[in-house]
Structure 1
């Protein structure tokens, strides 16, 4: 099933956790508006946060509310981005991006999640070198998409790589080219499961022990259920 899980699984998980993802993206929007102003044309971080929110169909009301909250300075003043790195069961490399207003709480929670699931929290840089920071656009396959045409359009727009995998297509770009490629494809009518800058593993690791698989699944779930955590990346090659 590859490093990304099947596209359908990913979409299913997103739908199940939609309300929670709304909460996380609202925080992202609020902090971006607080730090760089409420106009996305002059605030790249805010534009990115709004694009992410729209990508999972977050209602405009929620988006506007989050911007106003940041603009009013009521929230977002003390949030900071902290990246944690560690190991899951059997040495799986894990990177966790957080946005927190209490680093002590988040740090303690992170340690707990890793310890509880056969892993351990590492020091900054312990696994980061195993990943490349890339733009990643995911499009679900449907009967109407012509794979060759999509590949050609993506590469023409500036994509670095095109992968057909697990019920859809993954388009890899340089981080700074993500939105150029996304906008070019959006103009041609493509709909995205996600479009974001991601940490993509250079190589992936398979888990064969059922206990390790259970622990790794639980670790990812616990991390994703924490409101302080924005993104979880790992090099586990999930198999069907």
Structure 2
């Protein structure tokens, strides 16, 4: 089916080849979920999803505990969420979500990554029109009837339910996130992923050289400890 999502970090396959990248992504999801909804997975559905992913990838318990402590304890005090928007080579839009205890450090780092890769950091709000924010869920298909599940999701407010060999992809308006989440819980379904995602409204094609530079930029951003998620509108290769 091919994901329309702009979040490169979530791609199955290439981005998951390196063990460290898998750990980093899973732990950032734990931190993000715990920071927004608390550290109890019984009452924080997103944290439950993130911890399930950590378990799947055998992320060490110590790493998970550190992520939870950073989100809730004294280490998390002073952290703030901040977005950065800019353009990579050939006008490819790049939207960065970060959480930092030192904005000066983070903006300097993010700006340097853009500069190194032939891009430029822009003014916040400049790219809002290029991305639609939506509720987004990935649900394993095992044990689910496609027609029944699709009807349940549409009843909960989903706009689209797509299926490939392994997963359903469910998308809908931001304001139905909680409704879909509640519906999945009532059906005793734990999704592979549950998030508010930014989807490009249009895509930019690029030659191989430009594509390599954009992918280098995304890699530098994702390797930064302060960066939580990177979105872009680079057209996927066939």
What's the TM-score bracket when you normalise by the shorter of the two chains? Answer: 0.7 to 0.9
Q: Secondary structure at the match of 1:57?
A: helix
Q: Corresponding residue for 2:24? A: 20
Q: How does 1:107-126 map to 2 (within 5 A)?
A: 107-126=107-126
Distance 2:208 2:139 in 1: 31
For 2:84 and 2:22, the matched residues in 1 are separated by: 24
Asked if 1:54 corresponds to 2:55, the answer is no
| TM-score normalised per structure 2 | 0.78
Would the aligned equivalents of 1:85 and 1:123 in 2 still touch at CA under 8 Å? yes
Distance in 2, matches of 1:169 and 1:187, equals: 17
Deviations 1:13-56 (A, max 9, x none): 357423213442454366458xxx766788xxxx3652452252
Q: How many angstroms apart in 1 are the aligned matches of 2:160 and 2:39?
A: 34
Separation (CA, whole Å) in 2 of partners of 1:116 and 1:186: 45
Equivalent residue, structure 2, for 1:149 = 148
Matched residue SS, 1:139 = strand
Match of 1:198? 197
2:123 partner SS: coil
Any stretches of 5+ residues in structure 2 without a counterpart? none
- In 1: Cα distance, 2:6 partner to 2:231 partner: 12
- Counterpart-to-counterpart distance in 1, 2:67 and 2:237: 38
**In 2, Cα distance between the equivalents of 1:148 and 1:206?**
35
- Compute the TM-score of the two structures, normalised by the length of structure 1: 0.78
Alignment correspondent of 1:11: 12
Gaps of 5+ in 1: none
CA deviation vs aligned residue, 1:210-229 (integer Å, no higher than 9, x gap): 00111121111111111100
Instruction: Provide the rounded CA distance (Å) in 2 between the counterparts of 1:26 and 1:189.
Output: 21
Separation in 2, partners of 1:190, 1:80: 32
The total of aligned residue pairs comes to 229
Q: Deviations over 1:190-218 (max 9, x none)?
A: 553311001112222222x1001111211
Residue deviations 1:72-131, cap 9 Å, x none?
52x111111110001122111111000011111111111111112222111111111211
**Cα displacement string for residues 154-196 of structure 1 (whole angstroms, at most 9, x for unaligned residues):** 1122212223468643211222322331342354455533110
Tell me what 1:236 maps to. 234
| Structure 2 contact 113–220 (Cα < 8 Å) conserved | yes
